[in-house]
Structure 1
């Protein structure tokens, strides 16, 4: 628009230098002047509308979003998952509060719970509770070994420049879709899709080969408390 305005101003100055004695030229300039000015103003308006349309198109796209910058973290959150582990379909429910966590597995073998509080781990199965100190772990349950609390930091760092593949809605909330493809990146063992809230940047869902994890209560999880039952102190379980 500045260029168009400049042309109009220069044209006005040039018209003012016309010889006063040439009345026919003056009349012609006066007759054409308003039309020329109107045409220039129309061109300027069209250019402005075109610029506005371009700006709207850029705002509607996801080109400015990047995985590393978009994803936001909180010290506490909750998650729910359904997945297949060692051939068994498992429901996995968990809460994380800082360095502490709670996890419950429900599957064909019954319900198992894990509490990690400070340096201590509580493992509950049925009516039995076992308390383990630092470095100790349950050895007999392959599901407990295969499942651990999600760690997003490595993936968001390694794929910080990843752009969204598109957007979608979950429960009425707009989500960016970030796809981590194993075939394109040796750092990823399997294709993984992240759904990240456009408004908050919190992860809402992760889809992968074994199942789906849904996340909620970011920044709103109560501290993890030990199980309300007697627990046997052990140094690990053996056959």
Structure 2
């Protein structure tokens, strides 16, 4: 799909990987509807890209909230031809720690936002895409979901996070097969350790061992490099049902 002149929804658009994706899509000539729960950051994003970006408050776990945001997005820029799901949380905790077992409610929250939130936005947006006229090769839309290298090499304290991201990886192929008949592609990006605001707040003792197992280039990934991968997956129509790792050959211990 050619990005220029198309309309995309990006969840988690207010910061980090989502924000970098918004910036890349706008640079490539797209209109973007940014979904997030941070209304102030969304307002600032809309002011930064007047006419090209509009922010909409959205709880990705709530069907009514997502449908309402999609309605407003379509009113802003018409057909939503692509969705990039970046909304997510980490929720680090051991299965059994000093305070006892991992609180089930906390575990559920990670699954709800990272997995069910992604599925919720994907299914509701895809349902609308089925009504659009097909483009080149019969394509009606594209969905890019965000996993993590933790899907493959989960560390201590990442049971909920790794489970949620592993499910996102497993989702790619069957979702692509489900939506193939209506011309919608589904792909996943699995980033390594990226220099997002959330990670940059971490202690140096946390970052050092992560860099130690990053082969080359030996640095944190830039959010813009994640956005580059998203743009590639949008643009290459043969990419479908795939998961693309961008991690500098990192393998977590």
Same fold (TM over 0.5): no
Q: Which has the larger radius of gyration?
A: 1
**More strand by percentage:** 1
* TM-score bin (small chain): under 0.3
TM-score (structure 2 length as normaliser): 0.25
TM-score (structure 1 length as normaliser): 0.26
**More helix by percentage:** 2
